Amino acid sequence: MGLFKGSGVAIVTPFNDDLSVNYEKFIELLQFHLENGTDAIIVSGTTGESPTISDDEKLKLFKIAVKEIDGKIPVIAGTGSNDTAHSIRLSKAAELTGVDGLLLVTPYYNKSTQEGLIRHFTAIADEVDIPCILYNVPGRTGMNILPSTVEKLSKHKNISAVKEASGNIAQIVEVARLIPEDFYLYSGNDDHIVPVLSVGGHGVISVIANILPKETHDMVEAFLNGDTKKAANLQLLTKPITDAVFMEVNPIPIKAAMNLMGMSVGSLRMPLIEMSEPGQVLLKEEMKKIGLL
């Protein structure tokens, strides 16, 4: 059974001027999402700059999110790693903070065989008692989870969903065909929300929801309630701003957009750097068109 239906935000990690985590601002962002219909909070994913956030910082963010959300919507902790033992340690520690589930990215750099993936995810899921979401994002990791591998992993009692960010619709359709009915499929791409829902998907883990939480929630809700026309219209309406938010490496543009909106989420930790001037010009244009500026 998946953790949520709807729009889960891959929330940014806000920083102070010295690039320490701005926990006060993080609380503000959590409240913003509660007020705007977001259906789940994903902390310390790609958009949360997980590679440069320490384990201690992650655990503090998880604790704060659990306390502030107070059971209203699920809080999901990004605890994946390319080191299985490290991921197990972090996942167990995250579980103790009270999070509702875990997001587990595929191993990156060292990668794995498909059998290695099965053992990696099984080893982590065996050590916890909360739902785990597989995270397939080969453009980032160089590692693709094949549909047949997802099918095998879906049999584990603690592996309940997959975030599919391969961008390969044919593969996503095959995943949808193979998984059991109670195993949830989430779009990992904001421009594929309606296409993934159309083959039985349950929602999205979204970047664009950081600035368009209500629209992203409404898109999924409309589709799941049978209003496919409204859902498609929202998908098409948000396509240009989605393209703008991915014109440079995520989360560079989304943080730029949030700062332009006065949300004061700060800069990024290296090797991520500020958005280029030409990129900011294009981003501002699209933000104005959709009424964000």
Of 25, 58, 152, 163, catalytic: 163
Do 120 and 155 touch, CB atoms closer than 8 A? no
Per DSSP (E only), the strands in the chain are: 6-10, 40-43, 75-78, 101-105, 132-136, 159-164, 184-187, 203-206
How far lies 168's CA from each of 121, 143, 175, 286, in Å?
Answer: 22, 13, 11, 26
DSSP 138-156: HHHHS----HHHHHHHTTS
User: Is there a catalytic annotation at residue 255?
Assistant: no
Q: Return the DSSP state at 167.
A: -
Of 25, 58, 135, 152, catalytic: 135
**Cα–Cα distance for residue pair 272/22, rounded to 1 Å:** 17
User: Is there a catalytic annotation at residue 67?
Assistant: no
Q: Which residues are the active-site residues?
A: 135, 163
